[in-house]
Amino acid sequence: MENLEKIYERSSEVRYRILEGQAVVVLQDVAQVLVLSEVGARVLELLDGKRKMVAVRDLLLVEYEVDEAQLEQDLNDYINQLKEAGIVHCTEDSR
Amino acid sequence: MTYQNLIQRAWHNNTLLSVLLELTYDCNLNCFFCYNDRKQRGLPLRLDQYRQLIDELAEMGVLYLTLSGGEPLVHEDFWAIGSYARVRGFVIRIKSNGLAIGPRLARRLKLEVDPFVTEVSLHGACEATHDRQTRVEGSFSQLMHNIQDMLQAGIRVQLNVPLTRWNETEVEALCALADRSGLLLQIDPDVTPIDTGDAAPLSIAPTEAGLRGLHEVLQARLAASSTKKQTTGTAELANRGVQKKACPESTTKHCGAGATGLAVDPYGNVYPCVQWRIRLGSFHDQSVKDIWQNSEKLKQVRALNEKVGETRRSARTDAGLAFCPGVAQAETGSPFSFYTAFRLRKLAAHRSRETI
């Protein structure tokens, strides 16, 4: 993973709820609705602007049966997708 | 899974997604045909109760919250309620007449409440018509200024036009007005009785010719937009798609009333929908979760909703015509019966088809 010390948080324009085990994410500014999978929803919940990525990774390792290296790779890809979609940002970037 | 699939599941499983709060029946306009029962009395919900209600709805997974009235901005705790709803992560829709939202309030609204959309009522394409319906001189001119202020503040604005016989000849002009500022536009062809059942507002319901005119203008716009794809965006999905639009395929219910949506009046009374005024319980006495899970009346409403769905689906000649069981019940006493506005729309659609 690029940097396990980084902290991510959901963008202020993002509204979301867990529905039927999945996350319905509304991007207010661009008027878009996205649906994230159960694991994707869990990651989104954990990106609270307080936890470092290392803590997110460790929690997911406890909650899901997954290889650590694979998880780091998937998490890295997923965070990049969320960043691109404007759903999350790194707290350091907003300082 | 797609959003549409999730909504279908929510309809099927009775998952509460969308709640409308009527904060007050007070209003700074005096519209002739308003459906609110302004004489209704009761114990208004206090700010601490609204916070408790909002917390409960967030915990239940409700995503869409509408603040309505009367005029919601005249409620003394509007800002506290709106900003709290924002903090609790709701997609907020505000239904306002827009009269008070000048530049200062528009900026404050964006900053503190950050609604997904603010729907303002427009009653005509010109001052004479609009002010005639609102019975407040200068309200059209003020609204036009305020819409620009809202847009400047970064607020997404939708115009809601209740079609009446006073404004039915202005449909094209209303569309042009919306298009000029790039605003979303919704024209509601149904004038409904007052919530007491008083049918006085129906005296200015649109005529059959007016409805036919609306149908033709909308058909023409639809044809034009099929070549130039329009973005409907989340306004479609966020609320109307959940609660008001026709039932998603593969569910048996007719609409979202009591299936994915609820309404709460200023006195804490809970209803399946703002238009289906069957009192399910009171937030003064019970939690919304308790009402949602255990109300016998709500179970009856859901059963009725399914029966209405069954009846309407079998009426193939009415395909595409929205039917509201709540309005039917208010006007006729039965959620299955044809009500004035529906009969008129049915007739207008039939004649339009004959003409074509």
Query: Distance (Å, rounded) from C-alpha B95 to C-alpha B20?
Result: 10
Query: How close is the nearest chain B Cα to the Cα of A47, in Å?
Result: 15
Partner residue opposite B89 with nearest CB, options A15, A22, A33: A15
What is residue B245's predicted lDDT score, i.e. its pLDDT? 46
Query: Residue A34: closest CA among chain B residues belongs to which residue?
Result: B3
pLDDT in tens, A41-68: 899 999 999 999 999 999 999 999 999 9
The number of C-alpha atoms within 13 Å of B197 and in the hemisphere containing its C-beta is 7
Query: Distance (Å, rounded) from C-alpha B157 to C-alpha A12?
Result: 20
DSSP state of B257: B
What is residue B224's predicted lDDT score, i.e. its pLDDT? 85
What is residue B285's predicted lDDT score, i.e. its pLDDT? 97
What is residue B247's predicted lDDT score, i.e. its pLDDT? 52
What is residue B344's predicted lDDT score, i.e. its pLDDT? 85
Minimal CA–CA distance to B134: which of B123, B144, B145?
B123
CB distance from B63 to chain A under 8 Å?
yes
Query: How close is the nearest chain B Cα to the Cα of A40, in Å?
Result: 13
Contact B344, B206 (CB under 8 A): yes
Tens of each residue's pLDDT in chain B, 356 residues: 889 899 989 999 999 999 999 999 999 999 988 888 888 889 999 999 999 999 999 999 999 999 999 999 999 999 999 999 999 999 999 999 999 999 999 999 999 999 999 999 999 999 999 999 999 999 999 999 999 999 999 999 999 999 999 999 999 999 999 999 999 999 998 888 888 888 889 899 999 999 999 988 988 988 887 765 443 433 343 333 333 444 555 578 999 999 999 999 999 999 999 999 999 999 999 999 999 999 999 999 999 999 999 998 888 777 778 899 999 998 899 999 998 889 888 888 887 766 54
Structure tokens belonging to residue B99: 């009269």
* Locus of tokens 């992560």: B89
* Inter-chain residue contact A32 with B233, CB threshold 8 Å: yes
CB distance from B246 to chain A under 8 Å?
no
Structure tokens belonging to residue B312: 């309407």
Residues of B with Cβ-Cβ distance to A12 under 8 angstroms = 114
User: Which pTM was predicted?
Assistant: 0.90
Helix (H) / strand (E) containing A52: strand A48-52
Spell out the residues 6+ positions from residue B35 whose beta carbon is closer than 8 angstroms to its own: B192, B193, B194, B195, B201
Query: Residue B17: closest CA among chain A residues belongs to which residue?
Result: A19
* Inter-chain residue contact B89 with A16, CB threshold 8 Å: yes
C-alpha B194, offset from chain centre: 15
Query: Distance (Å, rounded) from C-alpha B76 to C-alpha B133?
Result: 26
Which residue out of A10, A20, A27 would a mutagenesis test of the B interface target, given it has the greatest number of B Cβ atoms within 10 Å?
A20
What is residue A46's predicted lDDT score, i.e. its pLDDT? 94
Query: Distance (Å, rounded) from C-alpha B211 to C-alpha B195?
Result: 23
Query: Distance (Å, rounded) from C-alpha B204 to C-alpha B74?
Result: 27
* Inter-chain residue contact A20 with B237, CB threshold 8 Å: no
Query: Residue A14: closest CA among chain B residues belongs to which residue?
Result: B89
CB distance from B226 to chain A under 8 Å?
no
* Inter-chain residue contact B3 with A24, CB threshold 8 Å: yes
Amino acid at B59: E
Which residue out of B63, B94, B111 would a mutagenesis test of the A interface target, given it has the greatest number of A Cβ atoms within 10 Å?
B63
Query: How close is the nearest chain A Cα to the Cα of B265, in Å?
Result: 24
Partner residue opposite A35 with nearest CB, options B1, B89, B90: B1
b/e A26-58 (16+ beta carbons within 10 angstroms → b): bbbeebbbbbbeebbbbbbebbeeebebeebbe
What is residue B249's predicted lDDT score, i.e. its pLDDT? 57
